[in-house]
Structure 1
Amino acid sequence: MIHRKLATALLLALTFGLGSLKLHADEGMWLFTDLPSDQLKSRYGFTMTDEWAQHVMLSSVRFNSGGSASFVSSTGLVLTNHHVASDTLQKLSTPEHNYIEDGFYAPTHAQEVAAPDLELNQLVSIEDVTAQVNAAVPAGASVAEAAKARRAVMSEIEQKSLDTTGFRSDVVTLFGGAKYHLYRYKKYTDVRLVWAPETKAAFFGGDADNFEYPRYCLDVTLFRVYEDGKPAKIDHFLKFDEAGVQDGDLVFVSGNPGRTQRIFTLDALKYLRDHRLPYVLDYLRRLEVLMQQYSYEGEEQKRRARNLQFGIQNSRKAYTGMIQGLQNPSFLEKKAKDEAALLKQIKASPELKD
């Protein structure tokens, strides 16, 4: 299927009415190498400089367990969601110390707890390697042969980059294979838990409130990255603004990994609606029942099952929203018109036809 994978991206919104917390989200999910500078300047009078974009990129963090975060201090403090941290909280918990249920707080650096198997990645550079990847595909290659050749050269590019720079190196596929970018990350492997709220605050409202707006919960956790046994010295981090968002402020969200399926074809969306998503939802519902039954067997079983249960319920609700959107006739009607207009434009242009 065609997809656009974004290792690190920006979302933006313009706020209206602070008291009612109403937001107007502008359209777009943007790569750091393709930011809408002209659009932001003309619509909002905001001049996006390369220095500003670089600062935001370097302030953003990726969890290897999945999820986004930000550096928020010069001493390696990292802010993320509680649900992103739940995997680590689960691993650190014991029958005697349930950090998911009871929360955690380290008053001093010495009391911060090492997070097992956790790695944080800071994106430091992006390189376009499209020409290298495409050049590796021999003329007349079949689809399978071309895919194999691309995978091989992507692995070579990643290994060469790692050997040369020492940075974690990932080649990502963009726009369904139209572009390939090499992302280099600085790795932090000494990561320690600083603070996490108890689950009654972090997941207030439970599954019923998840993916709903407004939502009232303390979905936040703090970690700290260390280097050579000491809190890491961080040059780029996001500062807290005690005044908060004001009416009319332009707000950006930086996150990774991200993905959008906006360029899926009409047939691909119909396949998702009629086959893929119903299958996934049926699987998730069955798995959810099994995990609920297991959690009823005792407190320890409930503790062990909680993180997986959250993941299942979170996915089930997300996929339910997706399929409801695809079942809206007006959505696919618009998609059909847009696709027909695009095909017409392609047929009318010799350059695009080639």
Structure 2
Amino acid sequence: MKKLYQLISLFLLFAFIIPINAQLNLDTVKYQKHDNGKQWAFDYPPINYLKEKYDLKTNEEWFEDIRLSALRLPGCTSSFVSEDGLMMTNHHCARGLLERIKKDGEDLIKDGFFAKSMAEERKIPGYYADQLVMIKDVTEEIHNAEKEGTTVNEKAEKKKAKIKELSEKYQKETGLQIQIIPLFNGGKYSLYGYKRYTDIRLVFAPEMQIAYFGGDYDNFTYPRYNLDCTFYRAYENDKPVKSTNFFKFSLSGIEPGEPIFTVGNPGTTNRLKTVAQLEYARDIIYRNNSFLFDSYYYALEDLKKEDPSRAKEFEDLRVQLGNSQKVISTTLKGLKDPYVYAKKVDFQKKLQQAVWNNPTLKEKYGKVWENIESTRNEARKIAPQMASLSFVQNRMFGSKYFAIAKSLLDVAKELQKPEDQKAAQYKAEKLDSTLKALLPEKIDQLLENTKLWINIEYMALNLGWDDPLVKKLSGGKKGKEIAKWLLDNSIFGDRDDIIDLAKEGADAIMKSEDPILYYVKEADKRMPELQKQMQEVTDTEGIYDDMLGQAIVEIYGTELPPDANFTLRLSDGTLKAFEYNGTVAPFFTTFYGLYDRWYSFYKKYPWDLHQRWEKVPADFDLATPFNFVSNNDIVGGNSGSAVINKNAEVVGLAFDGNIDSIIGNYIYIPYNNRMVAVDARAIVYAIEKVYKATRVSNELKNGKME
């Protein structure tokens, strides 16, 4: 009977697998209209598209109002949400600032913040918000400058010079922050002028536990239950900014099929790049980064078991890495997906055929793809060496042993100088104290030894285990044994040994065969030339990228959205469920789901709650919509984007995507790519009912201060 069950199981397995593989005939996979996404630039507003798609009548004034209501923060997006300069963004965009501006005895991450009066609104030093107030097409000026060059290198230099000239000219004339950015891979160039607000003050932030409920586990998932919001206020001349353009809140909700829009600054996409560039990203950039993030992320979990007394510390480090680790590893998985790859190949083939079928375009752009493939092949020769020699400067992943060795090398260079040319701290009488100040008394061996063996395995990934440098550093060992062997054969495990070598003088340091010091000397010697070579490749490819962009514009005009580059975009969508884990995600979650998850995980981290949420007011309506999901096209940088309806009213606040949105850096697949947002109703309701911050909730409802 057991064998019979096994046969039945095998039959069912193959009955399921074979039809799926049969359905995926890669030769029939075709590029679809919105594979390049829906991140519309305000330079080319999609008026006709919105009319055709939603029967929505928009005009230049509609787009201008939206543009001037939106703001760009360092790394994130914000927007004005009242006429008195109130600004909305995500809590995760403000997390580092909360640490910076807390006062003695405060824990703003744990307990949140609310300014009960304007006088209590807390200034954030060194922070700013940019408002896009000017757009100017400078394509002709830059392309004409490129044409003045007779070689690719000359063209690159002419382009740089023209961009610098235009930036300085308009900065001086307007007093605005000027940025010249390529659109359509350089097929177009726009000059953006930003008004910068430099007096930004914190008004309200919830505690992290409700803003990031579920922590790293729930990140990039849905259903979600996050109050991921924060409110600032912009000031000028010590008074709140009077914002003519702002997004007023709507508490009417969203109907299925109703068009909604995100207004924000998506960071980077590479959807219009060539197949050769995609392959390079897959084989070099994401493979390398995925190795580092995955190795360190999972090693930290092991360290929690190795030293349980430091479990929280290591978990905090994992949380810091978690977002990037998910993005990078999932993007790599997407780039390896044959379906995704086939779509990118088909888009390139269609574009190539359109160019090659036109004799004039073929003459100008026919070899662009071949030339870009050539530059990527050159980069493939350089990148593994650069990656392997990078740990001296890599603060996140590089072991401190390399940084200490670099300090020793710098000492040697200083000691080589004549006595009268040495900096005072390196002269004989002060050398001992200088060395002791440079070298840490203690090293976190558990953490740094872990980084050390990961660093060496990363070098082997790029150079191979037989590479002389890898052999010298690994001693033929692998995994954790590398660190033990290396420190047994190096002076850098003992501070006194380092100081003793330094006292022997520059020659002793420079001639030392210590493996860690040898690595640092190799990096110091080889990196400048490698960086120069890579810059030449990058500059050359930049010209070919411009030509590729010009070809795209010749064929498609501006009907395709340009790749994201952390400038303002509008993305359209509707509420859209999706299938996952054998079921279907709902449009909305509610506060009921928050408490179900809290109880289901025994109220344990990261599903624990602050005490103010453990017992909410008796009249709190748990059925209030909390988070929602839609098919708006967003990527990193969109964090903090207002989600608005056709009347430019806030209906939500974008804070994340589902796991299937991550490959959106390279392709937008509407079947399962989803944006996750906080519902406007949840924001106002929670601020009013739980935080009793009626000064803020009333301003959101009225669009102005009382």
TM-score normalised to structure 2 length:
0.44
> Which residue of the other structure, out of 143, 148, 152, is the alignment partner of 2:157?
148
Q: Residues 257 and 248 of structure 1: is their aligned pair in 2 closer, same or farther, counting only changes over 3 Å?
A: closer
Q: Which amino acid aligns with 1:199?
A: M
Q: Which amino acid aligns with 1:37?
A: I
> Which residue of the other structure, out of 52, 67, 78, is the alignment partner of 2:62?
52
Structure 1 residue aligned with 2:207: 198
Cα distance, 1:175 vs. partner?
1.7
Instruction: Specify the SS of the correspondent of 2:268.
Output: strand
For the 8 Å contact 1:127–1:182, the answer to whether it is kept is yes
Cα distance, 1:188 vs. partner?
0.3
1:108-130 deviations in Å (ceiling 9; x for gaps): 11001111211100001110111
Structure 2 residue aligned with 1:89: 98
Structure 2 residue aligned with 1:337: 346
Cα distance, 1:181 vs. partner?
0.6
CA distance in 1, matches of 2:102, 2:326: 27
CA distance in 2, matches of 1:147, 1:297: 55
Shifted more, 278-287 versus 33-42: the winner is 278-287
CA distance in 2, matches of 1:302, 1:216: 25
Q: Which amino acid aligns with 2:43?
A: T
Compute the RMSD of aligned alpha carbons. Answer: 2.6
CA distance in 1, matches of 2:227, 2:219: 12
Map 1:75-154 to 2 at 5 A.
Answer: 75-93=84-102, 96-137=105-146, 139-154=148-163
Q: Which amino acid aligns with 1:162?
A: Q
CA distance in 1, matches of 2:152, 2:361: 21
> Which residue of the other structure, out of 72, 77, 83, is the alignment partner of 2:81?
72
1:286-339 deviations in Å (ceiling 9; x for gaps): 55468886998779x959x95x76553211111222112112111111222222
Structure 2 residue aligned with 1:11: none
Alignment pair present for 1:316 and 2:341 = no
Cα distance, 1:213 vs. partner?
1.7
For the 8 Å contact 2:149–2:158, the answer to whether it is kept is no
Alignment pair present for 1:238 and 2:247 = yes
Q: Which amino acid aligns with 1:200?
A: Q
CA distance in 1, matches of 2:348, 2:276: 10
CA distance in 2, matches of 1:152, 1:100: 45
Shifted more, 290-299 versus 233-242: the winner is 290-299
Shifted more, 335-344 versus 122-131: the winner is 335-344
For the 8 Å contact 1:130–1:180, the answer to whether it is kept is yes
Q: Which amino acid aligns with 2:92?
A: H
Shifted more, 275-284 versus 226-235: the winner is 275-284
Alignment pair present for 1:41 and 2:51 = yes
For the 8 Å contact 1:296–1:302, the answer to whether it is kept is no
Q: Which amino acid aligns with 1:45?
A: D
Q: Work out the number of aligned pairs and report it.
A: 326
Cα distance, 1:61 vs. partner?
0.5
Structure 1 residue aligned with 2:196: 187
For the 8 Å contact 2:142–2:162, the answer to whether it is kept is yes
Greater strand share, structure number: 1
For the 8 Å contact 1:62–1:257, the answer to whether it is kept is no
CA distance in 1, matches of 2:278, 2:101: 41
Q: Residues 341 and 137 of structure 1: is their aligned pair in 2 closer, same or farther, counting only changes over 3 Å?
A: closer
Structure 2 unmatched ranges of 5 or more: 1-34, 365-706
For the 8 Å contact 2:148–2:158, the answer to whether it is kept is no
Cα distance, 1:144 vs. partner?
3.0
Cα distance, 1:76 vs. partner?
0.5
Instruction: Specify the SS of the correspondent of 2:146.
Output: coil
Cα distance, 1:172 vs. partner?
0.8
Cα distance, 1:77 vs. partner?
0.4
Structure 1 unmatched ranges of 5 or more: 1-24
Structure 2 residue aligned with 1:18: none
CA distance in 2, matches of 1:243, 1:270: 46
Shifted more, 157-166 versus 336-345: the winner is 336-345
Instruction: Specify the SS of the correspondent of 2:344.
Output: helix
Structure 1 residue aligned with 2:357: 348
For the 8 Å contact 1:126–1:184, the answer to whether it is kept is yes
Q: Which amino acid aligns with 2:110?
A: E
Shifted more, 139-148 versus 270-279: the winner is 139-148
Q: Which amino acid aligns with 2:257?
A: G
For the 8 Å contact 1:69–1:79, the answer to whether it is kept is yes
Q: Residues 227 and 350 of structure 1: is their aligned pair in 2 closer, same or farther, counting only changes over 3 Å?
A: same
CA distance in 2, matches of 1:140, 1:243: 58
Alignment pair present for 1:224 and 2:233 = yes
Greater helix share, structure number: 2
Q: Which amino acid aligns with 1:58?
A: L
Q: Residues 309 and 186 of structure 1: is their aligned pair in 2 closer, same or farther, counting only changes over 3 Å?
A: farther
> Which residue of the other structure, out of 41, 47, 54, is the alignment partner of 1:31?
41
Larger radius of gyration between Structure 1 and Structure 2: 2
Instruction: Specify the SS of the correspondent of 1:195.
Output: strand
CA distance in 1, matches of 2:356, 2:93: 46
Q: Residues 177 and 136 of structure 1: is their aligned pair in 2 closer, same or farther, counting only changes over 3 Å?
A: same
CA distance in 2, matches of 1:238, 1:310: 33
Instruction: Specify the SS of the correspondent of 2:180.
Output: strand
Q: How high is the sequence identity, in percent, across the aligned residues?
A: 36
Instruction: Specify the SS of the correspondent of 2:222.
Output: coil
For the 8 Å contact 1:93–1:100, the answer to whether it is kept is no
CA distance in 2, matches of 1:337, 1:272: 18
CA distance in 1, matches of 2:116, 2:299: 39
Alignment pair present for 1:172 and 2:181 = yes
Q: Which amino acid aligns with 1:346?
A: V
Q: Residues 138 and 26 of structure 1: is their aligned pair in 2 closer, same or farther, counting only changes over 3 Å?
A: closer
CA distance in 2, matches of 1:192, 1:139: 48
Structure 2 residue aligned with 1:267: 276
CA distance in 1, matches of 2:109, 2:126: 18
For the 8 Å contact 1:77–1:223, the answer to whether it is kept is yes
CA distance in 1, matches of 2:299, 2:100: 21
Q: Which amino acid aligns with 1:28?
A: K
